[in-house]
């Protein structure tokens, strides 16, 4: 009888120990999960690739035909819409704290992260509401291309309708900063919506097809040349998953003027042209 009582007591003690151990193990797992919650710095700092496609419209392009000496004819080329694409490789990171007071810098040169964690019953602050917080920034290399149908060319009394395609390929170095974000925050600490403003400078190569056959003028010979290009763009992105965003982009690209070689007569200068563009695409971050 005593043996049975002793066995029962030992069994009860073992059960209590097992339950205690299970509770401690579960607590350790929970603590580990809390430690695995991503910080804002880890979420905002990442390399990414982006692909965009869309439509571009060109403004009228002025041109000047030099016939020799002081004799020049002014003209204009009209363009239709055409496809536009962009492929970018870049990096996003957190900039310096918005509050640049000396004491803030002495305390820490990092951005707050604790108040980004999702807590039950507590709505986290928006990033833009934190005075000492940091703004996300981006730098990227973009390969950009566009096509435009050249509908008509008018110079003096001469008018032709080539209906050919002028091609542009460019490489841009872009920078962007976040303008605004949505109130809604996902569990991965990233806003659902964000708006970015970006600008870039690059080198563009333009190709103009030969139109001499239908114009009868040597001034419309084929021409290919390069020059400095600039762009400005506004981007709105929607977070689809932790690493993927749907991106809407509107912007303008300013293309350089180019001219035929000095030895060619008549000599033609195609003046600066701009391309207004609307694009949609995806950005994928490597975290």
Pairwise CA distance, residues 189 & 206, whole Å = 43
Q: Which helix (H) or strand (E) holds 115?
A: none
Mean pLDDT, range 120-143, rounded to an integer: 72
Domain positions in the chain are: 1-36, 38-286
**What would the mean pLDDT of 134-145 be, rounded to a whole number?**
93
Q: What is the DSSP letter of 131?
A: T
Q: Band of the pLDDT at 108, cuts 50, 70, 90? A: very low
Phi–psi pair at 261, nearest 5 degrees:
-60, 150
Model confidence pTM above 0.85: no
pLDDT at position 267 is 87
Is 108 exposed, middle or buried (CB count within 10 Å of its CB: 0-12, 13-18, 19+)? Answer: exposed
Judge contact between 138 and 94, C-beta under 8 A: no
Q: Count helices and strands (H / E) in the chain.
A: 4, 13
The span from the CA of 71 to the CA of 50, in Å, is: 49
Mean predicted confidence (pLDDT) in 1-24: 47
**Res 133: pLDDT:** 65
* CATH node for 38-286: 2.40.160.20
Report the percent of the chain where pLDDT is more than 70: 70
Q: What local confidence, expressed as pLDDT, does residue 149 receive?
A: 94
DSSP assignment letter at 242: S
**pLDDT tens-digit map of 160-210:** 999 999 999 999 999 999 998 886 666 666 788 999 999 999 999 999 999
Residue 24: the pLDDT is 44
Cis peptide before 266 (omega within 30 of 0): yes
If residue 148 lies in a helix (H) or strand (E), which one and from where to where? Answer: strand 134-155
């Amino acid at each position: 009888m005593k043996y049975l009582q002793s066995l029962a007591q030992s069994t009860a003690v073992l059960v209590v120990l097992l339950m205690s151990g299970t509770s401690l193990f579960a607590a350790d797992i929970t603590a580990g999960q809390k430690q695995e919650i991503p910080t804002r710095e880890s979420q905002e700092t990442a390399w990414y690739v982006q692909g965009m496609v869309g439509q571009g419209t060109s403004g009228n392009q002025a041109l000047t035909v030099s016939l020799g000496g002081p004799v020049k004819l002014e003209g204009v080329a009209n363009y239709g819409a055409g496809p536009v694409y962009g492929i970018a490789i870049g990096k996003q990171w957190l900039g310096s704290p918005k509050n640049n007071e000396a004491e803030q810098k002495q305390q820490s040169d990092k951005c707050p992260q604790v108040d980004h964690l999702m807590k039950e019953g507590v709505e986290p602050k928006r990033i833009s509401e934190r005075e000492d917080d940091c703004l996300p920034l981006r730098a990227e290399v973009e390969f950009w291309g566009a096509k435009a149908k050249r509908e008509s060319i008018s110079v003096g009394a001469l008018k032709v309708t080539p209906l050919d395609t002028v091609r542009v390929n460019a490489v841009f170095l872009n920078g962007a900063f976040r303008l605004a974000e949505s109130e809604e925050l996902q569990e991965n600490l990233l806003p659902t919506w964000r708006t970015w403003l970006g600008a870039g400078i690059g080198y563009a190569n333009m190709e103009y097809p030969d139109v001499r056959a239908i114009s009868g003028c040597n001034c419309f010979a084929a021409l290919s040349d390069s020059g400095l290009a600039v762009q400005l763009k506004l981007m709105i992105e929607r977070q689809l998953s932790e690493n993927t965003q749907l991106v809407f982009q509107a912007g303008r690209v300013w293309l350089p003027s180019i001219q035929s070689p000095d030895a060619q007569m008549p000599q033609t200068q195609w003046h600066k042209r701009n391309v207004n563009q609307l694009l949609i695409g995806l950005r994928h971050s490597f975290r």
